[in-house]
Amino acid sequence: MDLDVKSITKRYGHVTALSDLSLTIPAGSLTCFLGPSGCGKTTLLRVIAGLETAEEGQILLGEDDLSDTPPSERNFGVVFQSYSLFPNLTARRNVQYGLECRGWSRGRRRARAEEMLDLVYLRDQADKLPEQMSGGQQQRIAIARALAPEPSLLLLDEPLSALDAKVRAELRSEIRSIQQKFGITTIMVTHDQNEALEMADQIVVLRDGQIEQVGAPRDLYAHPQTRFVADFIGAINLLDISANAEGTAQFGTQELRIEGPLNGATTLGLRPEAITLSDHPTGAENSLACTVTNTRFMGNLQHVELRPNDAPDQLLQVEMNGLAQTPAPGDQLLANFPADALLVLR
């Protein structure tokens, strides 16, 4: 069943944390709430969980209005950033805990706990206390505990942010494959764009308690509508332009070819990997004569920074294959890109 967030407003005193926010979380999807600190991600998750009460609006699961249902009766599994396991219970008892509360029989509880421990590859750790396990293991147990009672929704509040990079990467793909295996509708709060791009079916970009843009990862990357989204998801060149008399984009003293209308936009986005460099004209729709100012070798990639000769107060970042020949500062090169690589941003 889809989860519908309808016109939710949540205030803390004078602070409006969520402002008339509406959203559908499709059944079986993994949706990420993404945005900078303070944008309202956690508040929205907590309102959905029932841990906060909104002043206005409704939370609907299918046809059921859950707005007045207490959290314990929503049948949602929740995992927090701090693993929040019961410190005095073994891993197995932690996983079984929610089942005891729901009155599952002893045999069923035990079988379900074994199944969940297998799922997170920790059956051999079942008799350990939380303090005897690593952070990654504790978070796996927290996920097993949340999933054990067969919740209708899984809510994850920055579940990976306390873990080191390697464990985080492993758990990203584990959580995604568990979520897909069970087809469980899942919401994850994160401020890490890579996490959202890698894991989500749908990303909700939040800003100041409102939705800035919603879409599939590829969609948001390829078609950001605003400067905020373009800048928040992936690296991008933001070109300051003005509309010239013909209504096309003027970049310094050069005109740029774009697809579609400018609609009053004063910023164009251009992904670094959409630009190719050459020392001779290639027939590209856009070609800017540039001076190389800097290069950075990153292994598989290299970044080249250039100053467009016709717009010398702006810089272009270009991403090239790490094995390609590296230009030198001062080199004169053409930065080539097609019209449809220029993103018109609000």
**Residue (128 or 191) nearer to ligand ATP, CB:** 191
Least distance in angstroms from the C-beta of 234 to ligand ATP: 19
Residues lying near ligand ATP in the complex (CB under 6 A) are found at: 12, 15, 17, 35, 37-43, 191
Query: CB-hemisphere CA count at 13 Å for 276?
Result: 10
Q: Which residues contact 13 (CB under 8 A, 6 or more apart)?
A: none
> Per the structure block, which two tokens stand in for 182?
């069970």
**Residue (80 or 104) nearer to ligand ATP, CB:** 80
For every residue of 180-249, DSSP letters joined together read HHHT--EEEEES-HHHHHHH-SEEEEEETTEEEEEE-HHHHHH---SHHHHHHSS--EEEE-EE-TTSSE
**Residue (35 or 130) nearer to ligand ATP, CB:** 35
In angstroms, rounded to a whole number, what is the distance separating the alpha carbons of residues 116 and 99? 12
Least distance in angstroms from the C-beta of 190 to ligand ATP: 9
Least distance in angstroms from the C-beta of 137 to ligand ATP: 24
In angstroms, rounded to a whole number, what is the distance separating the alpha carbons of residues 174 and 180? 10
Least distance in angstroms from the C-beta of 117 to ligand ATP: 30
The amino acid that residue 311 corresponds to is A
Least distance in angstroms from the C-beta of 140 to ligand ATP: 23
**Residue (37 or 105) nearer to ligand ATP, CB:** 37
**Residue (21 or 144) nearer to ligand ATP, CB:** 21
In angstroms, rounded to a whole number, what is the distance separating the alpha carbons of residues 289 and 308? 6
In angstroms, rounded to a whole number, what is the distance separating the alpha carbons of residues 286 and 256? 6
What single DSSP character describes residue 62?
A: T
Q: Which residues contact 97 (CB under 8 A, 6 or more apart)?
A: 86, 89, 145
In angstroms, rounded to a whole number, what is the distance separating the alpha carbons of residues 256 and 262? 11
Q: What are phi and psi of 81, to 5 degrees?
A: -60, -50
**Residue (206 or 304) nearer to ligand ATP, CB:** 206
3-state class of 241 per DSSP?
A: coil
**Residue (208 or 273) nearer to ligand ATP, CB:** 208
Least distance in angstroms from the C-beta of 48 to ligand ATP: 12
Least distance in angstroms from the C-beta of 168 to ligand ATP: 16
Q: Name the nearest CA neighbour of 77 among 170, 156, 183.
A: 156
Least distance in angstroms from the C-beta of 268 to ligand ATP: 28
**Residue (191 or 346) nearer to ligand ATP, CB:** 191
Q: Which helix (H) or strand (E) holds 239?
A: strand 237-240
